[in-house]
Structure formats: structure tokens, C-alpha cells
Amino acid sequence: MKMTSLLAASALAAVLAVPTANAQETLTIGVLVPTTGSEATYGQDMANAVELAIEEINEAGGVLDGQQLTSVVGDDACDAQQAVNAASKLASSDVVGIVGGYCSGATLPTLQIFGDANIPMIIPAANSTQLIPANPGNAFMINSTGNDQVAKAMEYFEANDVESLAIVHQGDAYSQDLAELTRERWEEAGNTVAAFEVSSKGEQDYSAIVTNIRSANPDAVFWTAYYADGALLIRQLREGGYQGLIAVGDGSNSPELFNIAGPAAEGVIGFSNPTAEFLPEAAAFTEAYTEKFGNAPGPYSTLTYDATKLLAWAIEEAGSTEADAIIAALESADYQDAIAGPISFTDENTLARSNFVVLEGQGGAWQLAE
Amino acid sequence: MSLFDILAQQLVNGLVLGSFYALVALGYTMVFGVIKLLNFAHGDLYMVGGFAGFFALSLVAGFAGPGWFGVAISMVFAMLAVGFLGVVIQRVAYQPMLAAPRLSILITALAVSLVLQNLVLALTQGQYTPFGANLGFGGINLGNLYISNNQMILVGTAGVLMLALELFVSRTQYGRAMRAVAIDKDMAQLMGINVNRVIALTFFAGSGLAAAAGTMAGAYYGSLWYFMGFLVGLKAFTAAVIGGIGSIPGAMLGGLILGLLESFGTQIPGIGSEWRDVFSFSVLILVLVFKPTGLLGKSEQERM
């Protein structure tokens, strides 16, 4: 017994002693997602997706002549201040690139940090239009922005005879941006915004807002912030007797919405970027993910997986780990292998096409509405 | 809906919200009464109370059902459990600091708040927990005014709890001891009152009321998370100050006033829901500036 382990140890030592400079080096990808706090579900799914993508890349021989990839996760807790701390830590820890950014409000202040450190960043989820002017040029957004979501939402409302709309947001970069864009476009199109309300994050009681909405009596209510508070609003709207259409933005399309809101969430409409369960191309990814982590991939796992693969592709394309070369490779990317569809960027480093779909809550789960 | 209907509806909303604030504000004000401590961990006891109620409900839902009956049993359990937790916190964290300068014990309270939050954060991994109660819909319509059954039960339960506390404090021997300690701790001790026991009792009652509010909020609103006590704690503190900190009827009144202010505040043109919190905390500042003792508080000389 002792003999074999000794032999094994010396064999291992012999293997390690072989001078394979490249093969021993590992490249680290920084992952910035909320793994605690209200959005922890999404964040953990995203961190898992990076892990899965890295595992597959490494099994296929790594990048740049066999260098292996690894990841380090920074927790932004969907909070601007914590995001700055986590980003500073990642920026100073020798990472080749960043995959991350879920909450736009938390992502916004990190752009400058990664910009100053000149680290390429791929943002899989955060999609506030406020991120676009704040981008120093090193960040790339592979999720369609708020502009595309508003277009999809308006198309749906108009097709369903909605004339007056109530909009509720939470005052953070993401939900406020989406709410104000919707209001602007909706009014430009000659429709009515019956109520425009704001709630504070962590507030449980929406009764005053519900009363305002009921008195304005809109055809539809559009909640632009995240699922945890959105579920409370949906419950209280239904409990308070509101019977019109309720729609939620892409921050609320988590299955958790149904656990909290219960039967009140039946028939709720959600706008979503393409998630694994609704993409035929994602079957293999869903299977691998479910097998590895024991739960289904969340709504942003697909895009995060794509982002990680895209970063690896860009490193390969650049032929080095030089930030400027990777950024140049991303700028001119025409990447066809993404699950959620081909990726190329506009001059503003945003995705060159819209990728939103319409979902409906049925039987306690999201289903494709079309 | 006419303006009258809207205002009537906001009155109902304000009463429900105010009931929660009042229950939590009572603990603030009682603890301040006996040991002159602003217990900043109090909002977190509301949060822990919600989770204790959730835990109890998952045990009793089998035979009591997830409706109000099950929630009532869970609420009693949560009140007892968190009441004892409050006593333990007082013994472990506050008792050794009673002789120290006032600032030390205040900082201890902030530390206790962080400990409770992070404990629950670690246990729940930061996730929202669906409470799992099923209270059903239904209610009564008075013209355009709608009052749900749940709202009536909530306000009624809060009213019963507050009445019980008021009777306890004004009519029983322990209540008299509590009032005596609040007036002069040293003199009360000389009169043969077991001050430590009174302090423990105060923490038990205050924490229990917060737990009752936490359980009801969890059941009514539908979800729990580790940070839910923060905002409620701040609001309850505001309510306690509006009513006059140290005064039990003041805390009840302050809670209801704050709830009503917040509901009606969203109706004022130009203020709206966006400024709701700004509105309530502005009221706090105004009260502190113009009537620092609050509505029902008595001005008190500093004893050395």
C-alpha cells in the first residue's frame, strides 16, 4: 500500500518535472456576479455557467497552445458599493478578462475600474442603456439593451389592445432606465401612461401604489425591476382587486417569482432574453449543466456560457493575452458558435441584434407565449 | 374612483402599514424606557421573528393548514422563541455594557444587528424565502372601497396585542415594576424590585411583539429575506420618536401616524411614491427639531 502510493507520488513528480512551460500556466477569468443578496439565484447560475464553459474549454485543450483556464468569483451582491470593492479586488488579481455584470446599477461603477486597469470585459446580462455611454471601450454587452426590450414590450402591448399603461420601477439604474424609456416611447406612440410609480427596494408594502394604480385603472401594469419585489407587487395588485394585464421586465423572469407570488402570478407576461429552456440549440448545454449542478440553468446561464466561450475565442483570435489585442478581436467579432445566436457588436460595443422573447406564466412556470 | 374613495382606501392601507410599524415601535420604546438604549437590533428581531414563524408553519401546516389558523400557531411560537432570543441577547450583549458609557452599548446594538443579519444570510444564502402561507382572497366592498379579510385580521390582531400589552403594563404588578424601573432604576431597586428581571421581561415582551409583526408580514406579503428588518427597523424607530420615545401609547400612535403619512403622502401632487421614504424621514427631522420629546413623550431632566 505504502509502496504503491510512493510509486505514484514519484511518477507524479516525474510528470510535473517535465518542462512544459505553457501547459502549466493557467489564465484566470474574473467573474463578477451577485452570489448573495436578492439576486443571488441568478448570480450563482451565472457563476456555474462560467465553470461549465471553462471545464469544456480545458477538456478541449485550453487556449493558446494548451494553457488552462480557471475562474475567480467576485460577489457584487447587486449593490453598487459592494460591486466597486469586488471589482477592485478582481482588477488587481491578474485576470485575463472579466465575465460578469448582472445588475446594471451594480455594474455601472465597475466599468471605470476595469477600464482603468485595461481588462477586457464581457457583460452577459446587465443591459441598461446607461451602461453604453459609461463604457470606456473595454466592455462588450452581449445581451440586447433596454431599447430592444422596450420595442418588444410595446409591440406586445399594442397587439393586445393595451391603451393606458401603468409603469412601476424601483429607482435603480436598470429599472428606472427601462421604465423611463417605456414611458417616453409609449407616449410618443400616442398612448397614455396612466400612472408612473416608484417603490423602494426592500419595501414590502405596495398598498399605496396599488391604490393609485386601481384608481388610474390602466389596461396593463408594467413592472421593470426584479422578481423578488415584483412578486410582492403582483400579489398585492391581485389581492387589491386589479384585474388587468401584468407584465414584467427581464429582471423578473425567474421561476422564483411563482414561489413567492403563488397563484397571483398566473397569466403574468414576461419579456426575456433567450433562455436555455426556450432555445432548441441549448439542449446539450442544459443537459450538461443539469448533470453537473443538479438544477436547471437559470435565465442568464446561456448568455454567461456564451460570454465565457466568446472570451476564450477572442484570446485565441488575438493570439495573446494582451488586453488590447483581445479587445480588438472582440470589436471585429463575428462569432457564430454562441447558443443564443451569432454575436457581433455595434460601434458602441452592444449586441448588433435584438434577442427578446415573450413569456407567459402558466401553471407556476414560464412558457413561451407566442 | 373618486378622490374620496382613494383617500378612504389609503386610510385602510395606512392602518395596515401602521399596525406593523406600531408593533415594532413598541419594542423600541419599551427597551428605551428601561435601559435608555436605542436597540438597533430590534428590526432584525422582526426579521428573525418572520423566519421563526416560517419554521413553525412548516411544522404545523400538516395539521393546522397554511391558513390563518396555522399562521396564528406559528406566530405564538415565533413570539416565544424570539422573546427568549431577545432575553439572551440582552444578557449576553447588553448586560455587561450597562455600566459603560451610552455610546458603547449603542455600538453593541449595531453589532448584534449585523450578527443576526449575517447569521440569517448564511443560513438562507441570501435567497428570498417564500413564506408558504395560503391566506386566500376575499374581502368586503364598500362602494369603491375594498378591504380584504386579511387586512382586517392583521389590524385586529395587532390591536389585540397592543391592548394586551397596555393592560399588562397598566394593570399588573410586573407592569407597575416596569414603569417604576423606567422612571428611576436605582430607586426601583431600593424599593425591592428585581431590576434585572424587569429588564429581561421588557426584552421578552418587546422582542415577542416584533416577532408577531414579522410572522404576520411574512404571511401577508409572502416572502422573507435577511435584510427585511432594516427598513422596518428604521421606520419603527421613526414611529417611536414621533410618538415620544419611552412612551408606550406614543409608539402605537406614532406607528399609526407614520403608516397614514406614508399612504397619504403618495397622494400629494408632486410628492408621489418616489418620495415616500423622504417624506417619512422628513417628518422625523421635523419632530426632532420642533418637539424632540414626541407627541406623547414627557420632557425629562437628566439625572446624574
Select from B223, B232, B277 the Cβ nearest to the Cβ of A228: B223
DSSP B90: I
Q: What is the ipTM of this complex?
A: 0.87
Residue range B291-296: mean pLDDT, rounded: 90
Residue range A192-216: mean pLDDT, rounded: 90
- Chain B residues with beta carbon closer than 8 angstroms to that of A209: 266, 273
pLDDT in tens, A239-261: 888 999 999 998 898 888 999 99
Cβ of B128 under 8 Å from any chain A Cβ? Answer: yes
Select from B150, B222, B272 the Cβ nearest to the Cβ of A232: B222
Rounded to whole angstroms, the Cα distance separating B214 from B219 reads 9
Select from B126, B222, B273 the Cβ nearest to the Cβ of A262: B222
Q: Which three cell numbers stand for residue A154?
A: 410595446
Q: Average pLDDT over chain A, rounded to whole?
A: 89
The length of chain A, given as a count of residues: 370
- End-to-end CA distance of chain B: give it in Å, rounded: 58
Q: Which residues in chain B (144-203) have CB-CB distances under 8 A to chain A?
A: 146, 148, 150
pLDDT in tens, A294-319: 988 888 899 999 999 999 999 999 99
Contact assessment for residue B291 and residue B299, using Cβ atoms and an 8 Å cutoff: no
CB contact under 8 A, A211 and B13: yes
Lowest mean pLDDT among A205-214, A278-287, B39-48: A278-287
CB contact under 8 A, A214 and B227: no
Q: Average pLDDT over chain B, rounded to whole?
A: 91
Which contiguous run of DSSP H or E holds residue B129?
Answer: strand B129-130
Tell me the pLDDT band of A23, cut-offs 50, 70 and 90. very low
Q: Which segments within chain A are labelled E, that is strand?
A: 26-33, 68-75, 97-100, 121-123, 139-141, 164-169, 192-198, 220-223, 245-248, 269-272, 357-362, 365-368
CB contact under 8 A, A215 and B231: no
**Can you give the pLDDT at residue B211?**
97
CB contact under 8 A, A207 and B13: yes
Closest-CA residue of B relative to A37 is B126
Contact assessment for residue B264 and residue B3, using Cβ atoms and an 8 Å cutoff: no
Interface test with B, best of A82, A183, A205 (most B CBs within 10 A): A205
CA distances from A361 to A146, A237, A247 (A): 22, 16, 10
In total, the C-beta contacts within 8 angstroms joining chain A to chain B are: 102
CA distances from B243 to B33, B170, B234 (A): 13, 18, 14
CB contact under 8 A, A261 and B228: no
Rounded to whole angstroms, the Cα distance separating A304 from B129 reads 26
Strand partners, A359: A270, A368
CB contact under 8 A, B13 and A260: no
Give residue B249's Cα distance to chain centre: 13
Contact assessment for residue A168 and residue A229, using Cβ atoms and an 8 Å cutoff: no
Cβ of B124 under 8 Å from any chain A Cβ? Answer: no
Residue of higher predicted confidence among A17 and A258: A258
